[in-house]
Amino acid sequence: MIYTDTRDSSAKVDFKTAVMSGMNQKTGGLYIPVEFPKIDPALINKNPAPSFRDIAFNMAKPYVEGEIPDVDLAAIIQDAYPFSPKVAPLDNTSYILELFHGPTCAFKDFGARFMARTMSYFNRNEDSRLHILVATSGDTGSAVGSAFHGVEGLDVTILYPDGKISPLQEKQLSTFTGNVRALKVKGTFDDCQKLVKTAFTDDELRSKLRLSSANSINIARLLPQSFYYMYAALMVRNSSSLVNKIQDPAIIMVVPSGNFGNLTSGLIAREMGGPIEGFVAATNTNRTIPDWIATGDYNARASVETYANAMDVGAPSNYERIKAMYSLDEVRKLFGSYWLDNEGIMKAIEACHSKTGYIIDPHGAIGYKAWDDIRSGAMADLLAGTKNPFEQPGLTPNIPDWAQKVIDKKAIGVILETASPAKFGSIVTEAIGREPPMPARLEEVLRLPDNAIPMENDYNMFKDWLIANL
């Protein structure tokens, strides 16, 4: 498979180059495949649905063909995924896709573990170490740290905004030793991301260190996240006629979104033949993409702190990939978009629990509320010409092609629950009046010492630290 650059379509690289460099370090562009091959219809039409690992292998194969033999790819998949996503019905037209059953209790385990093993595979014959830089607004850092910790030949530096992630999230990413180190930056996630991107385009630094990225700018993070979209779509389609009494439903993926890597992965699954009708981009008050969909104007902005902090991104990197894959008109046909403020997030957590008994985290809560509103009349209001005031939280004024199927009750929403609610215990407890269950693997982290290193929001200081310490 050949990969091209979102900023220079003449640039062509193989999978190894795309993964090991993270991005085009000359242009700052992001790599995307030149095509999205369709998965075998026999696999898609299999009933019962194939296992998650079978789907992962078959979806990954065309993207690594000629570079990773099947036997090695199978070993990577086997080692990366001793766990699977879980798909559970929430009510008659809603499912929850639970993505928190990995070691750090967040969806980013799926991408980070595949990427770590792929990078280790490609680096096995290299003489020098590869240095991974990653900015995080929450769960990315812990997933990457866990996935890469102890991996031979690789070093990881995690940058996170000091005081702007939950205490448990900070504990998860600041307790590593050895080849994984965390820097707590005096700034926002966007500041952290800018430091990382600047490092990649610094010729002097790149002459001293081999650099790559573990954010969703790296295609090896993005591709494996497409696996669970396909898995969920096939599971829901195969059970909907019995469970939901809906034959051949329009499956709508409702995606809590910040940097928009997760949603871009869903687009890849759809392009590969996944039975996905459309998407809802569900954001907090950092609504850069919903505003773009509604108005046609893309205006990156400073991020705003919210209770759904992993989505506190004002300049989402994967906008470049979405724009490279689709025109604005095509995006509008595929996407509904929705946003909530902190008050709405708290109410959504409480509403989900009181109506269904399900304890949901702040990010998934935005997705829950988005789908609940869409199927309960908000989309019908749009079709009737009644629009939510643009400055008010809720559904933004765009009518996707699948809108009528929602009105006709022929659609099923799959809400991505991207993290364990235990990672946001104080917020969830305040919303529902009880503490969410704490997984044992999170309890263990709380007992570990904090090893984070303070860092100013200053590129030259960051660069000097990298050169001195790596």
Neighbouring-strand partners of residue 137 = none
pLDDT, the chain, mean? 93
| Model pLDDT for residues 224-238, shown as the tens digit of each residue | 999 999 999 999 998
H helical segments located in 272-337: 288-295, 319-325, 328-334
| 9 within a domain of the structure (yes/no) | no
Give, as one character, the DSSP assignment of residue 415.
E
Q: Which of 230, 6, 201 is nearest to 97 (CA)?
A: 230
Give the total number of structural domains in the chain: 1
* Domain containing residue 237: 91-101+220-437
- Which residues, in sequence order, are CB contacts of 244 under 8 Å at separation 6+? 89, 92, 93, 412
Is 71 domain-assigned?
Answer: no
Confidence of residue 373 (pLDDT cuts 50, 70, 90): very high
214 versus 147: which is more confidently predicted? 147
Domain assignment present for residue 166? The answer is no
d(CA 356, CA 351): 8
The answer to whether residue 447 scores a pLDDT higher than 80 is yes
* pLDDT at 241 > cutoff 80: no
Predicted pLDDT of residue 457: 98
The whole-number average pLDDT for the span 416-439 is 96
Secondary structure (H, E, C), 21-70: HCCCCCCCCCEEECCCCCCCHHHHCCCCCCCHHHHHHHHHHHHHCCCCCH
Note whether residue 418 is domain-resident.
yes
Taking a C-beta distance cutoff of 8 angstroms, is the pair 417, 361 a contact?
yes
Does 234 fall in a domain? yes
pLDDT of 138 strictly over 80: no
Helices marked H in 244-297: 261-271, 288-295
Provide the CATH number for the domain around residue 376.
Answer: 3.40.50.1100
Cα distance between residue 49 and residue 47, in whole Å: 5
Q: How high is the pLDDT of residue 212? A: 86
Helix (H, G, I), strand (E, B) or coil at 359: coil
Please indicate, yes or no, if residue 135 is contained in any of the structural domains: no
pLDDT band at residue 8 under the 50/70/90 scheme: very high
Distance CA 132, CA 211 (A): 6
Give the HSE-up count for residue 16: Cα atoms under 13 Å, Cβ half-sphere.
11
Q: Residue 434 contacts by C-beta under 8 Å, 6 or more apart in sequence?
A: none
Give CA–CA dist 183/451, Å, rounded.
9
Q: What is the mean pLDDT of residues 58-76?
A: 98
* Look-up of token digits 């990366």: 80
- Residue 258 sits at φ, ψ, to 5 deg, of -130, -75
Q: What is the mean pLDDT of residues 311-323?
A: 93
Q: Per the domain annotation, does 63 fall within a domain?
A: no
Question: How confident is the model over 256-300, as pLDDT tens digits?
Answer: 999 899 999 999 999 999 999 999 999 999 999 999 999 999 999
Q: CA-CA distance, 287 to 337, in Å (whole number)? A: 9
Distance from chain centroid for Cα 260: 6
Question: Helix/strand/coil (H, E, C) string of 377-395?
Answer: HHHHHHHCCCCCCCCCCEE
Least confident of 159-173, 273-287, 405-419, 432-446: 159-173
Q: What angle do CA 123, 128, 131 make, to 5 degrees?
A: 75
pLDDT per residue over 182-225, tens digit each? 999 999 988 998 999 899 889 999 999 998 888 778 999 999 99
- Alpha-carbon distance of 6 to 65, in angstroms, equals 22
**Pair of tokens at residue 218:** 């790296």
Please tell me the predicted confidence (pLDDT) of residue 104. Answer: 94
In a domain, 245, yes or no: yes
Burial of 393: CB neighbours in 10 Å, binned 0-12, 13-18, 19+: buried
**Average pLDDT over every residue of 52-69:** 98
What pLDDT score was predicted for residue 421? 96
